[in-house]
Structure 1
Amino acid sequence: MVLQRDKSVNIWGFGAVGEKVTVNFAGQTKTAITDDKGNWIVVLSPLKTSAVSQKMTISGSNKIVLDNILVGEVWLCSGQSNMEYAMRKLAKIPKPKNEKLGVPSDAVVKAKNTKIRIFLVNRKALIKPDSVHKSWALAQDSALRNFSAVGYFFAKVLQEKLGIPIGVISSAVPGSAIEPWISDEAFANEPFFKSQKVGNDPSKFYTPMVEPLTKFALRGFLWYQGETNCFLGENISYAYKMKALITSWRKAWKDESMPFYEVQIAPYNYAKTTGKVPMTSDTEPEFWEAQAQVLRLPNTGIVVTTDLNDNQEDLHPTYKWEVGRRLSLWALAKTYHQKINYSGPIYKSSQFKNGKAILELAYLNNAVITNDSKSLSGFTIAGKDGKFVNATAKLVGKTLEVSSSEIKQPTEVRYNWSENPSGNFYSNGLPALPFRTNNPLTNQFKTN
């Protein structure tokens, strides 16, 4: 097990009504009396980092000893199948096309770092008492084979860079929409949904797979979900669901500043699918736009995945090690304040004059580097008629100038606005977030 450092740590359980319980750990002794339902809780003062295994003794009418406990950083990973995607699958994946990213097919065999601990949530077992905490395991062997690849590679980089114990909890369900991960109360508190009936079983997974964890101190959250909601053609409604999830989870952990880093769903041929909701070539870019609204909330980040799918017919691209690494960059920079590059370009604003679009972007270095040493591509531009043509883009000072000889008076620019994006716009070694300059959610989505 890993306990969160530098925060108050809850230790809780149950016993006979009126029973006195004493907890000893790391030089602290705390006592509690069980309530009329037999529940008890003590709060340990913030703990210092410790890579040395320690024992916790819990004494009452019986005695429980928990050993091999470290103190470091703990993160919760959640979402649907791409977060749940297990390490064992990496041993059988085809050779990735992007050889520069490597392929850690033998990662489980090589995993020997005892400073990384993992906890795989079982939705049927989490709410049941577990006095020996058997769900915690070292990140190796059979436990690791069944664990989230994204979660593990995130933890691996963090442990290597920070040099401290890392604990990762994975609570994910394949095929799940976002609604089951949000409580009914959270939807009731979000004005956008007050006049709507929310489907997809709100609270279904929150109650058994998230709520029981809320007493356990964490540093932050990682989220990889959205494919199910994209198939429903969502845009602004998904942005508000993300807002409800983030706000309510932070409230549940009693920390409004907890970091929340999400992963953009990967490129996929949604327009070729048939279902209850018609899909178009705009469906996924509009969904990416909704996912990106999270960045307007404090202490959030997003991993771009437009370059991480070798097969547009595969909803579960294999580059999970790179997704985990990119998530770790956000955490290392924003949460742990390391001076590193952690994001590709993100659109901020635009001006249109002299037949050109002048774009301001965040995380834009003075030397834009494409991923193929060719001229910048993936940009389109349109005038008032809304007809887009391919555009030329070049870095001018700290802005990006986009133009086309076919459009004399441009009014809109798009980048990688496609479910099959091929743009090569990079900075800091990371891909740019797809965008359109006339994003309607800029005014429609309210953060307060």
Structure 2
Amino acid sequence: MIFHYFVIVLLFCISNTDGAGTLRFADYYESHMVLQMAPSRAQIWGYATSVGDTVTVDLNGTVAATATVAKRTDGKAGGIWSALLPAHKAGGPITIDIRSNDGHATLTDVLFGDVWICSGQSNMAFTLGQVFNNSAELEHSSHFNNIRIMKVALRSSNTTVDKTPLAIHWRTPAGSSTRYFSAVCLMFAEELAPHINRPIGLIQTAWGGTPVEAWSSPDAIASCTSKTKRATPHENSVLWNAMVNPLLKMTIYGAIWYQGEANIRHPDAYACQFPAMIDDWRSKFNIASKHQTNQQFPFGFVQLAANANKTLHFGFPDLRWSQTAKYGYVPNPRLQNVFMAVAMDLPDYNSTFGTIHPRDKQDVAKRLALAGRAVAYNEKNLDFQGPIPTDLTLTENKLVIEFDHGNSAIEVRKTDGFELCCGNNFNHTCHYNHWTPAPIVAHDQSTVTIDTSGCHGNMSLVVAVRFAWEMSPCEFKMCPLYDSTNDLPAATFVKYAPFNTK
């Protein structure tokens, strides 16, 4: 028994040597994977012993590319090779063979399609086996043979690394390990699949309880002058180093993100750090893939869902606002080619995993995929956002708010949700306890009218109006405003005076 254990450990160590002794692919290039399809060119890379040697790459028996083994820059023995494959249409399966004087390696059942990174903290890591109706969801997922999943193992590092151990190796969603894969990530792809007609590769790299700074490179941190210091795995850049940096050479199509709970104490800093991280990811994936990953690749995110405290007016709403770079919607001038799913109307106060982890990931995925179809895949005439305020006009004791509602009318489901900050001049500072409710008193297909009589006396000026500014602003799908076509709620927003007057 001891001998058998020793042999297993020895074989594991040999198979994971960092490029010593044989030609091989980098860790996350495996059979059954998805590589990025045309018009981009997929990059593959790996390790070899003989620096200066030539690596020949065959696709289905035909030479597709060659690469020269370059000396490693980290001081380790051996070399690294990389090759750009010809742009390949969607489909497969493809067999990829690599050969050199150091040996031969093969990948089988490789598909070409779109590759998505799925990252963030615990709600992205929340597994398919934890959602409502998980048995039915697992059975449903097993039929998507053109979706392939891979999960990066949890790992942190104070320096950048190029190896990334896998917790789930590339595979179809059929099988027992799928229950441990990200629910939002997989169901997002399942919702997209019928509309884009191509294979989808999913890479989960997520860790519960972690802040945005841990996923941000030192360059992204520096752009916001963040001084935050935390213990691993929360320390600045430690997950960027170990769970994102190793993936950079892979050509990808886009990324989705579900994170923010770990940053609610510093929402203003998030308004800088989150866009900075997106910019930095885009730049570094583009450069490392030899400019094959689009330098403005689509990036989707989920706004924070509701939590247990239904009346808390700070923390979560401030972070939701900062997630949009303080615009209240995406795409916007600061967050271009970015899309989101609003989730504040999807509470799960009885979740067995804690109220911060709602089990309804199905609605989240549907909303995210709908927005992704419009933004990431340029599907036209698609209503993918809830009502967005575009014009505010003050009349006597009333504020009329006009909404851009796409092709559908707005739907009012309850009359509360709006609040006013009152003051005696427009320079009045609106502290968290300076807000008074302003109920909806009228509405039509494109506007709502709220009562401003709460601002009176020597504090009669309406300095600002805000909407859904609570940790848990509404019960399940019962926020005040929705679009009437796709059941999408208006997002948290705040607007400051001066407003139009009539």
TM bracket (short chain): 0.7 to 0.9
| Aligned with residue 398 of structure 2, among 345, 350, 356 | 356
Task: For 1:267-282, list aligned pairs within 5 A.
Answer: 267-269=306-308, 281-282=313-314
- Pairing 1:279-358 to 2, within 5 Å after superposition: 281-293=313-325, 295=330, 296-311=334-349, 314-339=355-380, 340-358=382-400
Matched, 1:45 2:93: no
Q: 1:402 aligns with which of 450, 453, 460?
A: 450
Task: Say yes or no: does 1:109 pair with 2:139.
Answer: yes
Deviation string 1:317-355 (CA, Å, 9 cap, x unpaired) is 011121111111111111112232211123345332333
Structure 1 residues not aligned, in runs of 5+: 94-102, 273-279, 440-448
Structure 1 residues 124 and 353: alpha-carbon distance in aligned structure 2, compared to 1, 3 A threshold: same
Q: Give the partner amino acid of 2:105.
A: I
Specify the code of the residue in structure 2 equivalent to 1:425: L
Residues 281 and 234 from structure 1, CA distance in 2 versus in 1: closer, same or farther, beyond 3 angstroms?
Answer: same
Instruction: State the aligned residue count.
Output: 410
RMSD (Å) for aligned C-alpha atoms: 2.7
Is 1:381 equivalent to 2:420 in the alignment? yes
The question of whether the paired residues in 2 share the 8 Å contact of 1:306 and 1:421 is answered with yes
Aligned to 2:21: none
Check the 8 A contact 1:117/1:168 in 2, yes or no: yes
Q: Is the 8 A contact 1:56 1:65 kept in 2?
A: yes
Q: Give 2:465's aligned residue.
A: 413
Amino acid at match of 2:146: K
Inter-CA distance 105–416: structure 2 relative to 1 (3 Å threshold): farther
Cα distance in 1 for residues equivalent to 2:136 and 2:296: 37
Distance 1:407 1:271 in 2: 25
Q: Find the counterpart in structure 2 of residue 34 from structure 1.
A: 69
Provide the C-alpha distance between the structure 2 equivalents of 1:29 and 1:387, rounded to a whole number of angstroms: 65
Following the alignment from structure 2 to structure 1, what is the Cα–Cα distance between the partners of residues 55 and 164?
A: 16
Q: Which whole-Å deviations, capped at 9, do the CAs of 1:370-428 have from their partners, x for residues lacking one?
A: 4xxx4544223353264412311544564433224544654432221111212321014
- AA at the equivalent of 1:346: I
Deviation at 1:108, TM superposition (A): 0.9
1:198 Cα offset (Å): 3.1
8 Å contact from structure 1 (residues 381, 391) kept in 2: no
Aligned to 2:276: 244
TM superposition score normalised by structure 2? 0.76
Give the drift of 1:143: 2.5
Q: CA deviation at 1:211?
A: 0.6
CA positional deviation for 1:12: 0.6
Q: How does 1:225-264 map to 2 (within 5 A)?
A: 225-230=259-264, 233-254=265-286, 255-264=294-303
- Residues 187 and 19 of structure 1, relative CA distance in 2, 3 Å threshold: same
Residue 181 of structure 2 corresponds to 147
- Counterpart AA for 2:379: Q
Q: Give the counterpart letter for 2:387 in structure 1.
A: P
Change (3 A) 1:178 1:382: closer
Give the alignment's TM-score, normalised by structure 1: 0.84
Rounded to whole Å, the distance in 1 between the matches of 2:162 and 2:71 is 20
Q: 2:228 aligns with which of 184, 198, 201?
A: 198
Greater Cα offset, 293-302 or 281-290: 293-302
Give the superposition deviation at 1:28. Answer: 5.3
Match for residue 426 of structure 1 among 482, 492, 497: 482
Q: Who is 1:215 aligned against? A: 249
Distance 1:145 1:397, change over 3 A: closer
**Percent identity at matched positions?**
30
1:181/1:204 contact within 8 Å kept: yes
Give the drift of 1:246: 0.3
Choose from 104, 110, 127 the match for 1:63: 104
Whether the aligned pair in 2 keeps the contact of 1:349 and 1:360 (CA below 8 Å) is yes
The code of the aligned residue for 1:145 comes to: R
| Aligned AA (1:86) | T
> Where does the alignment leave 5 or more consecutive residues of structure 2 unmatched?
1-32, 73-78, 287-293, 425-433, 498-502
* Counterpart AA for 1:402: I
Q: Equivalent residue of 1:250, what SS? A: helix
Larger radius of gyration between Structure 1 and Structure 2: 2
How far apart, CA to CA, are the structure 2 residues paired with 1:426 and 1:351? Answer: 21
What is the alpha-carbon distance in structure 2 between the residues aligned to residue 314 and residue 147 of structure 1? 20
Q: Distance in 2 between matches of 1:28 and 1:152?
A: 34
SS of aligned partner of 1:319: coil
